[in-house]
Amino acid sequence: MFFEGAEKKLEIRLTPNMVSLRQQECGFWSTLVACANAEILSTIRNPACDAYLLSESSLFVWDDKILLLTCGNSTLVDAACHFINAVGVEHIAALCYQRKNEYQAQLQSTSFVDDIAKLRTLIPGKAFRVGHLDSHHHYLFCTDNLFCIDNQAMLSTETCLELMMYHIRGELADYLKQPSQTELGIYQRLGLQQLFPNFQFDMHCFQPTGFSLNGIRGADYISLHITPSTGQGDSSYVSFETNLDLAVYPYPLVAQMIKLFMPSSWDLIRFNQPLITDCFPEYLCLAHGSIVTEQGCQIDFNHYQQPQTEELQPVFL
């Protein structure tokens, strides 16, 4: 059975002087993720962040911000509307809703256009696409600049990097396609302890294949979600996301992920992050673009492909 690995992403920050979101009871978060057709599998916490591993990706909660990622045929926009109504739109300082092009968009309950129409009944904002419509592309909806200058300055300095890898190959990819994969086996093959020292991890293997991981260290987070190829054709997909400042981080994380998974192509979306291609394998940059939101966030998109030609086999439908 086909499973859509591509995530939908929701990030919401509250206005200052609100009660900490981490004081909400667990039932609040269970209801929120249920709106997106997901459920909470497990939770890890530290003094700055709560991380929930979901049946479809991840939820991170800080005192004044949430980040919710869902994959499969999820209805993340319903979770967004539920959250806005629960806390009050007047308390939303910034909202960013994101979807990438799906492998089989016809199986999704809604489209990005449907989602934005629903969001705009609650909160104003601008929608845009980065990337070619007939290739890899991503849709984003970002709220207008509604609040104070101090809050805008804070939002314009937050960092995030999203790495999306397609058609993975090699030894690790072969292991991930086996029903015998284990959390420990993946953890060791990825070298997570070396790459992310002092991080607390929560991970889960799905049946027959698939893997999700949350990691937190103070307010820093990482998420890793792996959807190996299933059925005929290669629809394998891996996403990695972090708010670590990669300009000062001691390891070339993006290059290491590409080395491990050996994707045929990959996308980078950077929010106030520098472009660091040191230690990348040989590549072609097929497309790039950037935009600055009204709240001062610099968003950059790059689409890469390895230069080797793939030998493709016909897929009988």
Instruction: Give the model confidence (pLDDT) of 71-85 as tens digits.
Output: 888 899 999 999 999
pLDDT tens track for 90-104: 999 999 999 998 777
Q: Quote the number of domains for the chain.
A: 1
**C-alpha 3: how far from chain center:** 16
pLDDT at 230: 55
Strand-pairing partners, residue 142, are: 96, 126
Residue 63 has pLDDT above 70, yes or no: yes
pLDDT reported for residue 296: 86
Residues 236/166, Cβ–Cβ less than 8 Å: yes
Nearest to 14 by CA among 56, 62, 57, 77: 62
Structure tokens at 117: 């129409």
pLDDT of res. 28: 97
Q: Are 242 and 222 in contact (CB under 8 A)?
A: yes
Mean pLDDT for 49-65 is 96
pLDDT of 152 higher than 70:
no
The overall average pLDDT reported for the chain is 90
Residue 309 has pLDDT above 80, yes or no: no
217 inside domain: yes
Residue 182 lies in a domain: yes
Amino acid at 42: S
Of 51-60, 72-81, 123-132, 146-155, where does mean pLDDT reach its minimum? 146-155
Q: Would residue 58 count as lying in a domain?
A: yes
Supply the DSSP symbol for 276: -
How does strand 137-143 pair with strand 125-131? antiparallel
Whole-angstrom Cα distance, residue 74 to residue 2? 14
Q: Write out the two tokens for 267.
A: 């996308």
The pLDDT score that the predictor gives to residue 317 is 72
Residue 147 clears pLDDT 90, i.e. is over it: no
Q: Which of 35-39, 191-195, 205-209 has the least mean pLDDT?
A: 205-209
The pLDDT, as a whole number, for residue 295 is 80
Q: What percent of the chain has pLDDT over 90?
A: 70
Residue 2: inside a domain: no
Query: What's the average model confidence in pLDDT over 101-116?
Result: 86
Q: Is the pLDDT of residue 262 over 90?
A: yes
Of residues 67 and 155, the one with the higher pLDDT is 67
- 65: nearest Cα among 96, 40, 39, 34: 96
Better-predicted residue by pLDDT, 122 or 3: 122
**Would residue 287 count as lying in a domain?**
yes
CB crowding 50-76: b at 16 or more within 10 Å, else e: bbbbbbbbbbbbbebbbbbbbbbebbb
- Does residue 196 carry a pLDDT above 90? yes
Collect all residues with Cβ–Cβ distance below 8 Å to 281 and sequence separation of at least 6: 255, 258, 259, 306
Examine residue 274 and state whether it is found in any structural domain, yes or no: yes
Q: Specify if 36 maps to a domain.
A: yes
Q: Residue 293: which domain range?
A: 8-305
Q: Which residues contact 82 (CB under 8 A, 6 or more apart)?
A: 31, 32, 35
pLDDT at residue number 155: 57
- Tokens coding 168: 């993975």
Query: What proportion of the chain, given as a percentage, has pLDDT over 70?
Result: 94
Q: Cα–Cα distance between 46 and 306 in angstroms, integer?
A: 39
Q: Is residue 166 part of a domain?
A: yes
Q: How high is the pLDDT of residue 149?
A: 44
The CATH number linked to 14 is: 3.60.90.10
Question: From CA 255, how far away is CA 278, in angstroms rounded?
Answer: 7
**Greater pLDDT, 180 or 106:** 180
Tens digits of residue pLDDT in 276-291: 888 898 899 999 999 9
Q: What is the pTM of this model?
A: 0.93
pLDDT at 181 over 50: yes
In the numeric block, which tokens belong to residue 242?
Answer: 């972090």
